[in-house]
Amino acid sequence: MKVMNCPLNGPRNISEFVWGGEVKPMPDETKLSDREWAEYVFLENNTAGVVREWWCHVPTSFWFIAERNTVTDEIVKTYPASEVFKARVDFAPKSERAKP
């Protein structure tokens, strides 16, 4: 079985993981038209080559980031999402957001 290195749990069988799709920066939804939001949600780069993706280790519900070659099926590296996302993302509607 293929093995993936989970940043939290170490090397585990690939069947313990779920693929979450490409990492794309979330635009500010308050500034987008419905159409632009749909583009963000649905359109994919679907790159043939090295990509940066979300993966989840299911038994521990740990989401992290993997760099993977989608042509050779090689996992280049895996690391915690905190290496990319420095600040907390607030998903609450704007009116309910905590004031900074």
Partner 1 sequence: MLPAFLPTGLLKYGLRKKYPAFRYIPGPSELKSHYDVVIIGGGGHALACAYYLARNHGITNVCVLERGYLAGGNTARNTAIIRSNYLTPEGVKFYEESLRLYRDLSQDLDFNILYSERGHFTLAHTDAAMRTSRWRAEVNKHLGVDSELIYPDDIAKLCPSLNMSEDVRYPILGALYHPPGSIARHDAVAWGYAARASQMGVEIHQQTGVTGLVIEGGKVKGVETTRGRIGAGQVMQAVAGMTSVVADMAGFKLPIRTIPLQACVSVPLKPFLDQIIVSGSLHVYVSQSSRGELVMGGSTDPYGLYSTRSTLDFKEGLLGHMLELLPMLGEVKILRQWAGMADMTPDFSPVMGLTPVENYYIDSGWGTWGFKATPVCGKTMAYTIANNKPHALIKPFSYERFLTYSQVGEKGAASVGH
CB of 28 to partner 1, least distance (A): 19
Query: From the CB of residue 65, how many other CB atoms can be counted at a distance below 10 Å?
Result: 20
- Of the candidate residues 25, 30, 35, 99, the single one contacting partner 1 (CB under 8 A): 35
The edge-to-edge listing of strands for the beta sheet with 74-80 is 17-22, 50-57, 62-69, 74-80
Q: Are 13 and 58 in contact (CB under 8 A)?
A: no
Q: What are 31's two structure tokens?
A: 């500034």
- Of the candidate residues 10, 30, 31, 46, the single one contacting partner 1 (CB under 8 A): 46
- Site for partner 1 contains 71 (CB under 8 A): yes
Return residues touching partner 1 (CB under 8 A): 1-2, 14-15, 17-19, 21, 34-35, 38-39, 42-48, 70-73
